[in-house]
Chain A
Amino acid sequence: MLSNNNSTCRFQEEIVSYLYDEASVPENAAFVAHLTNCASCADELTAFGFVRSSIQEWRTEEICSLDMPALEIPALKTAKIEQKTLISNESNSWLETLKRLFALSPRLAFGSIAFIALAACVGLIFVIANFSSNKNIAGKENQASEQILASNNNTKIEEKISTPKDEKNYASQPAPENQEKAENKFPEKQPLVKKESIVKTSAASKNKSSAPKSNNTFAVSDKNNKNRNDKIQKQEIPTLSNFDDDDDKSLRLADLFSEIGTE
């Protein structure tokens, strides 16, 4: 018997399941059996089919032809950028690269460590050898400079003894003062000028010694000379070591000529 009143039909859900082909086999069989007896359900099924095809047409014409907008997800973008930077940082780190390399081949790691150790030993030996040779050369130069200074001092003392000086003037003007001034004027790293200063001090002492001197002044001047010589020795030893013998001689000659000229 066909029933026209669909609102009272209990097959509402079955119509939908059947329409969308999601009914189970027993449900399907039961609904097909019902359709033969229910005209309203059959009519409704046809109408729903029409509705579906209308929606499908609209979907095809409008929705599917819509341009899919490019979705921008900032969090995803930042995550990707962070990951990229992390990867690039990892790849740039030389330590990481070394670690990976050594992890791949332990033999290579052992070899490279042995090479580094060997290079360090060779470097150490080279440094020690250089240091000892420099020490020897410096010792020799010091000895030579001491000898030169000693000879210079002797000549200066002799000159002073030969020319007496005024006691008061000499006491008021202590001899090392000029020497110290001259030394202070020229730093140790300018040996050429230093040499000149030594000559100048000797010339100054000569000028001072042109005045008459008593015996007491000799004792005082001897002490001053000793102090001065000590200071000269202490301060001028490293500067003299920088000169060659030939240069040294030429300087002296030049100084002598200048002295002769002034006198």
Chain B
Amino acid sequence: MTNLTDEQLVELAVTDNPDAFGVIVSRWERKIFALCYGMLSREDEAKDAAQETFIAAYRNLKNFRGDAKVSSWLHRIAVNQCLTTKRRAKTRSESFLDDEENAEDRVFVAPTNLQPSKTTEQSERLQIIRQAVFSLPIDLRQIIVMKEFDEMTFQQISETLDMPLSTVKSRLYTALKQLRMKLERVPLEIV
């Protein structure tokens, strides 16, 4: 079953074969989680969003018409899920980093998985990068995350977000330009 394509697995899953959908989940869960983490910047929220993504996908399996790729379909659901999560968080005044103006003053959630052996300098650098990425507006950030975390092509991003290819490229250009400005303080030994 693992040799089948995503589209074939979806066809199987539609005909009451839950194992086929299980293969899809195991194939895409890491990338979907990375996308959610890149967009939400919180591990717990990212986990919930990834889970909700697959639940929604499973519920709507019969509505999948095969016009787009399964990966694009899953990423679209994930992006929508993340946007919904952010909207809810904003209304609860719990959101982080979605206002670009106050991004500099924000306190970032320190990742719990950083290794203690890492030098303080490296940790600081990573924190600056995090801060730079999470301070991007959501429409730019989602493209950066899709491109860098999920390694999606421009065409896939275009299909996922249902926007023209040129818009994707121009948004990515803008995002990179903003990140360049924010990362000018980062020590050069990274390169």
- Residue numbers of A with Cβ under 8 A of B are 12-13, 15-17, 19-20, 22, 44, 47-59, 61-63, 65-69, 71-76, 79-80, 83
Contact = CB atoms under 8 A, between A and B. Distances in A.
B96 interface: no
A62 B130 contact: yes
B103 interface: no
Contacts of A48: 176, 180
A253 B109 CA distance: 113
Interface in B1-56: 16-19, 21-22, 25, 29-30, 33-34, 37-38, 43, 47, 50-51, 54-55
B25 A71 contact: yes
B136 to A, nearest CB: 11
A12 B183 CA distance: 20
A22 B157 CA distance: 13
Given A13-B169, A55-B148, A69-B33, A74 B113 contact: no
A12 B176 CA distance: 11
B169 A69 contact: no
Nearest to A77: B18
Given A17-B169, A47-B180, A59 B191 contact: no
Given A13-B170, A57-B126, A74 B55 contact: yes
A68 B29 contact: yes
Interface of B, helix, strand, loop or mixed by DSSP: helix
Contacts of A61: 114, 118, 122, 126
A186 to B, nearest CB: 71
B185 to A, nearest CB: 11
A79 B59 CA distance: 11
10 contacts: A12-B170, A16-B169, A17-B169, A49-B191, A63-B38, A67-B113, A69-B43, A75-B59, A79-B18, A80-B19
Nearest to A46: B191
B78 interface: no
Interface in B163-191: 166, 169-170, 172-173, 176-177, 179-180, 183, 186, 190-191
B153 interface: yes
The CB with the most chain B CB atoms within 10 A, among A15, A16, A62, A79, is that of A16
Contacts of A16: 154, 169, 172-173, 176
B165 to A, nearest CB: 9
A76 B169 contact: no
B183 A51 contact: yes
A76 B18 contact: yes
B58 interface: yes
